[in-house]
Amino acid sequence: MDNEILTFTVSDADVDSRLDAFLAAQINDWSRARLQRLIENEDVLVNGKNSKPSYRLRETDVIEVELIAPASEAFTPENIPVEIIYEDESVVVVNKPAGLVVHPAAGNQSGTLANALAYHFQNLPSSAGVIRPGIVHRLDRDTSGLMVVAKTEQAMENVADQFRDRAVFKSYVALVHGRVDGDAGKIDQPLARDSSNRTRMAVVRGGRTAISLYKVRRRLQRFTLLDVELKTGRTHQIRVHLAWLRHPVVGDEIYGGGRDNTIQDARIRAHIKSLNRHFLHAEKLAFTHPASGIRLEFEAGLPVELSGLLKELGVES
């Protein structure tokens, strides 16, 4: 699921207002301090460029805000199975399956991870938590793997700060088209909304800083299995970066450029199509516990549909 994107056009009444003050007045349930962090982390663009919280608005300025963490709100509890990897009074770590949208939005008001967590929290003892899941980061609908969810406001602020400070370790497994050169590499390319298609992201000069590190885990005849570490958490970052590298993620219908259809082996081509997802899995996650200060590390193996494809390709995952 994409992060929520809000767009504002400055009117005469708001000319000369500070950017952070303007956003605080426009966006409900978001503190000015949290919005300032979004601006400083390049998640707010003014006329397509990064800015500062103190920027004074001009008439017709166009402001684009990417809300990385949703404001606290109640969700309708729904009894949707979710795999809990770890839980205590502050945080929950889940292994999200592909196909599960993280957060309710237009067209997805129910059946989401947030609804499932609300049900789970509601059934805890009253002293053990709240029914409002604090979703600090997201995974695309068709990306599986590890996510941390805060159970208290203090934990939410703490973990969100760790994400902004790039103190959270996030490592993904991706199967990509082609044979990637070299054993490792770094992609440092800014991302923004594609001007010709606002539902897509693209490498855009002046966009938000985005850094991905990758290492080759296994080379196959026509594919490469990669470990990808995220240093930033932009929308669709890994998928866009690997497509820019000309090695798009297998099964990615949005950024794949039709590469799945060029696979000559009809059996493999049909297997990939039957996945109904892309081959991207959040395998490893590490962060500092917001209460104890202890570093926690988690790992979730590939789901059966992805390991099955690797087996089809002759790889035992």
pLDDT tens-digit map of 187-198: 999 998 887 887
**Is there a single domain that holds both residue 93 and residue 61?**
no
CA end-to-end distance (rounded Å), the chain = 27
> Does residue 313 carry a pLDDT above 60?
yes
Looking at the structure, tell me whether residues 185 and 268 fall in a common domain.
Answer: yes
Same domain, 224 and 128: no
Is residue 59 included in any domain, yes or no? yes
Q: Distance between alpha carbon 310 and the CA centroid of its chain, in Å?
A: 24
73-82, 274-283, 295-304 — which is least confidently predicted? 73-82
pTM > 0.85:
no
CATH value at residue 149: 3.30.2350.10
Q: In the predicted model, is pLDDT for residue 264 greater than 60?
A: yes
- Read off the tokens for 283: 């395998």
Tell me the C-alpha distance between 123 and 306, whole Å: 32
Which of residues 112, 129, 162 is at a domain's end?
A: 162
107-121, 135-149, 196-210 — most confident range? 135-149
> What is the span of the domain harbouring residue 60?
4-67
Distance separating alpha carbons of residues 38 and 44, to the nearest angstrom? 6
Closest CA to 130 of 153, 107, 148, 110: 153
| Total of domains in the chain | 3
DSSP string covering 73-100, please? ----------EEEEE-SSEEEEEEPTT-
Q: List the catalytic residue out of 20, 140, 252, 260.
A: 140
Query: What pLDDT is attached to residue 72?
Result: 45
Q: Are residues 50 and 115 in the same domain?
A: no
211 belongs to a structural domain: yes
88 tagged catalytic: no
Q: Quick check: is 295 in a domain?
A: no
Calpha distance 30→44 (Å, rounded)? 14
Q: Is residue 301 in a domain?
A: no
Residue 207 CA to residue 140 CA, distance in Å, equals 20
Tell me the one-letter amino acid at 225.
L
pLDDT tens track for 106-136: 556 688 898 888 888 775 433 333 445 578 8
Q: Phi/psi zone of residue 42: left (φ > 0), alpha (ψ -120 to 50 degrees), beta?
A: left
Q: Which DSSP letter does residue 269 get? A: H
Residue 303 has pLDDT above 90, yes or no: yes
- Are 73 and 156 found together in one domain? yes
pLDDT the model gives residue 295: 98
Q: Which percentage of the chain shows pLDDT scores above 70?
A: 90
Residue 149's nearest CA partner among 83, 239, 76 is 83
For tokens 């207002």, name the residue: 17
User: Poorest-confidence range of 4-8, 133-137, 199-203?
Assistant: 133-137
The band of 74, judged by pLDDT with boundaries at 50, 70 and 90, is: low
Whether residue 1 is predicted with pLDDT greater than 50 in this model: the reply is no
Same domain? For 191 and 255 the reply is yes
On whether both 29 and 129 belong to a single domain, the answer is no
